[in-house]
Structure 1
Amino acid sequence: MADEGSKKESVDTSSQVAEEMLSDMKSNLPDAIVPLWQSLESNPWLLAASVVVVGFVIAKLAQWIFRSVLGKLASKTSNDFDDKFYQILAKSIYAIVFNIALLLAVEALKFSSSVDTFLKRFVITLLILSLMGKLLKVTRIILEAFSQKENRFKFIDERTIPILDITTKILIVGAALYVMFISWGINPTAWLASAGIIGIAVGFAAKDTLANLFAGFFIVADSPYKLGDYIILDTGERGRVTHVGIRSTRLLTRDDVEITIPNSVMGNAKIVNESGGPWEKTRLRINVGVSYDSDLEKVHDVLMAMVADNADLCSSPEPRVRYRNFGGSSIDLQFMAWIERPEQKGLISHKLIMQIHKLFNENNIEIPYSKQDLYVKEWPSSPE
């Protein structure tokens, strides 16, 4: 009984507030319009239609004036952010003015108390939904505009936009629903308490989804990789990051196969970011061995001469040759060079191995293979 009484009191209060607001608006009409209003009050439907038509004209006029004034200012700027912003703002002004006209029309029709309250709340709900949609668009273009100013807003970029976008959507939609409940005379406190209990149950049922969700937030905050980076996981997957979402991260491998990995796995994996560090360049290492009879100075000069004619290798840092150890059949060395992008590693390694083999053959440099000599100390005696 107490809940029904409070709900009825809330309905009466909201209806009274709406009536007082409309009465104030009616009393503040211009003196030239008051006689016309009074003459039309004898025919409520004609009065309501007139109010809607006049409201539509005023709303369109206000929208046109707003666009004309701000359109000239926006045309003087180099970006399109203000163009999109003022267009949404102009539509919002139109929605507010026209919905006020609808409220006045409902008031003029003099319906019963229950019907009058329902219609007014329905119009207010339409206005809330309209403004909510426009506010969602505004936040989206604001995030995009801020992401383009990397020097000023480093925390907003291509990888953080999805997280910030969904967060603002949740806040805006939640606020709109709260105001909508209030406008209908519904006390949202009990709903919020029920939502808390339901949330606990959903949390247990969807713990994997929530783990991916929170891991997605941590990945964005910690930033171990970003869109476009080449990464290698401890499980062996290697590819370019094409998407960092709330639930998963997607990698495009060199086979043009897209791998979707849950964020909870990414959050606990050992990740090698080949695009990280001071630049995206990656060092390539080619292991090769030469015979012990080779002229090591000549080997070094042949490999370094190969660099001058190779456009695939970076000139800075310079390529280098390093002898590593005395192997069982060869002197082992590494040819090390930097390449521009990690995804080129396989193709350039292929080219270098072919070129080194050709140069060594042309310069009589032997690449030995493992050999073993077998000494027979004593032949077994033949049976008599």
Structure 2
Amino acid sequence: MPLAEKWEILSLRCIRTIGVLIWMVFFIRLATLLLKRIAGLSNKYSFIQHRTVTLFDNLAKVIIFGAATYAVFVIWDINMTAWLASAGVAGIAIGFAAKDTLSNLFAGVFILADAPYKVGDYIVLDKGDRGKVTNIGLRSTRILTRDDVEITVPNSIIGNTTITNQSGGPHEKLRVRLKVGVAYGSDIDKVRTILMQIADKDRQVCKFPPPRVRFRLFGTSSLDFELLFWVNHPEERGRVLDALNTKVYQKFTEESIEIPYSKQDIYIKGLPEALSKINTR
């Protein structure tokens, strides 16, 4: 059936709009598949890795959606000048109203791109909070502490503070310092030998790098030593320290090596006059 010119134009525009939507869905899915494939070849394409796939995927979706929107406007012969002007004014207003949210958003993008840490790493914040990264979002980062308490930190705060990544570096191992003091007059060679034997026999202590003992300081009332050793994962630090502290104390007690503690001696030069009279009676 022949259609009127108005309905013919309307039908063609609807068909073209549907075609644009189909191609938009196709390109979005294609971009996701290509990014995942490229991330699997991270040895060749280092700029796209598994941790940054989400970032590039969202960016590709925004670009494709914007191109599809522009095509739909062209199909329906809509003047975009007024829309762009309105969008510019709205963007400025939204930017002022949601500056904290946008700050977190941009910080999250830089964190995903720069990757100072990843999910599963143990990090320490400036305030001393320490835990395992469970999620890195565009707005915030979630950390699970050793007390099984989840901390949500805005990305803008993380982006402006110093982060210690205990899982970073050439390997995930963490060096632990066990400090112990012995009394003056102790056999320091014997102390070194005992500390090394305890570290070498413990299965939780890494054999490489090897443990070592350092004589650090002539303290006020003790000779201060440090046993330096490595553990395989940062979360093992507390458990291994507990085991080694127990063994050091037991061994020092067995070998009659004194661990000094703070003492205060009180000297009485004289008694008050009233007490002196009582004592003389």
2:27 corresponds to = 135
Q: Alignment partner of 1:159: what SS?
A: helix
1:346 aligns with 2:238: yes
Q: Secondary structure at the match of 2:259?
A: coil
Q: Residues 257-314 of structure 1, C-alpha deviation per residue, up to 9 Å, x if partnerless?
A: 3222111111112211111222221110111111113211111111111122211111
- Residue 100 (structure 2) aligned to one of 188, 196, 208: 208
Q: CA RMSD in A?
A: 1.6
Report the counterpart of residue 153 of structure 1 in structure 2.
45
1:235 alignment partner, SS class: coil
State how far apart, in whole Å, the 2-side matches of 1:270 and 1:313 are. Answer: 29
SS at match of 1:160: helix
Find the aligned partners of 2:72 and 2:255 in 1 and give their Cα distance. 84
The equivalent of 1:124 in structure 2 is 16
Instruction: State the alpha-carbon separation in 2 of the partners of residues 216 and 298 from structure 1.
Output: 53
Q: Distance in 1 between matches of 2:265 and 2:127?
A: 41
SS of the residue corresponding to residue 151 of structure 2 reads strand
Tell me, in whole angstroms, the C-alpha distance in 2 between the residues paired with 1:355 and 1:119. 84
Q: Higher relative contact order at CA 8 Å, sep ≥6: structure 1 or structure 2?
A: 2
The structure where strand makes up a greater share of residues is 2
**Distance (Å, rounded) in 2 between the aligned partners of 1:224 and 1:124:** 46
Q: Is 1:375–2:279 an aligned residue pair?
A: no
Tell me, yes or no, if the aligned pair for 2:198 and 2:244 is still in contact at 8 Å.
no
Look up the match of 2:70.
Answer: 178
Q: TM-score, normalised by structure 1?
A: 0.68
Alignment of 1:160-199 (within 5 A): 160-199=52-91
C-alpha contact (below 8 Å) 1:323/1:332 kept by paired residues: yes
The 2-side partners of 1:256 and 1:134 are apart by 43
Report the alpha carbon displacement of residue 188 of structure 1 after superposing the two structures with TM. Answer: 2.0
Which residue of structure 2 aligns with residue 241 of structure 1? 133
2:260 partner amino acid: P
Contact 1:329/1:371, CA 8 A, preserved across alignment: no
TM-score of the two chains, using structure 2 as the length reference:
0.92
Paired with 1:269 and 1:263, the residues of 2 have a C-alpha distance of 10
Deviation at 1:136, TM superposition (A): 1.0
Q: What amino acid maps onto 1:111 in structure 2?
A: L
- What is the CA distance between 1:200 and its match in structure 2? 0.7
Matching residue of 2:162: 270
Partner-residue secondary structure (3-state), 1:145 = helix
Cα pair 1:158 1:227 within 8 Å, conserved? no
Could you tell me how far 1:174 is from its partner in structure 2? 0.3
Once residues 371 and 148 of structure 1 are traced to their aligned partners in structure 2, the CA distance between those partners, rounded to angstroms, is: 63
CA contact (8 A) 2:122 2:131 kept: yes
Matched, 1:288 2:185: no
Which residue of the other structure, out of 219, 230, 248, is the alignment partner of 1:356?
248
Gaps of 5+ in 2: none
- Mapped partners of 1:251, 1:331: distance in 2: 39
Whole-angstrom distance in 1 between the partners of 2:151 and 2:50: 20
Counterparts of 2:84 and 2:220, CA distance in 1: 74
Task: In structure 1, give the amino acid aligned to 2:58.
Answer: I
CA distance in 2: counterparts of 1:375 and 1:251, whole angstroms: 53
State the one-letter code of the partner of 1:261: V
Deviations, residues 32-85 of structure 1 (Å, cap 9, x unaligned): xxxxxxxxxxxxxxxxxxxxxxxxxxxxxxxxxxxxxxxxxxxxxxxxxxxxxx
SS at match of 1:185: coil
1:250 CA drift (Å): 1.5
Report the more deviating stretch, 372-381 or 169-178. Answer: 372-381
AA in 2 matched with 1:303: L
CA contact (8 A) 2:199 2:244 kept: no
Task: Return the offset for 1:116.
Answer: 1.8
Higher helix share: 1
Question: Contact between 2:200 and 2:211, CA under 8 Å: does it hold in 1?
Answer: no
Pair 1:322-2:206 in alignment: no
Q: Which residue of 2 aligns with 1:104?
A: none
Is the CA contact (8 Å cut-off) linking 1:286 and 1:336 kept in structure 2? yes
Q: What secondary structure sits across from 2:143 in the alignment?
A: strand
Q: Deviation at 1:146?
A: 1.4
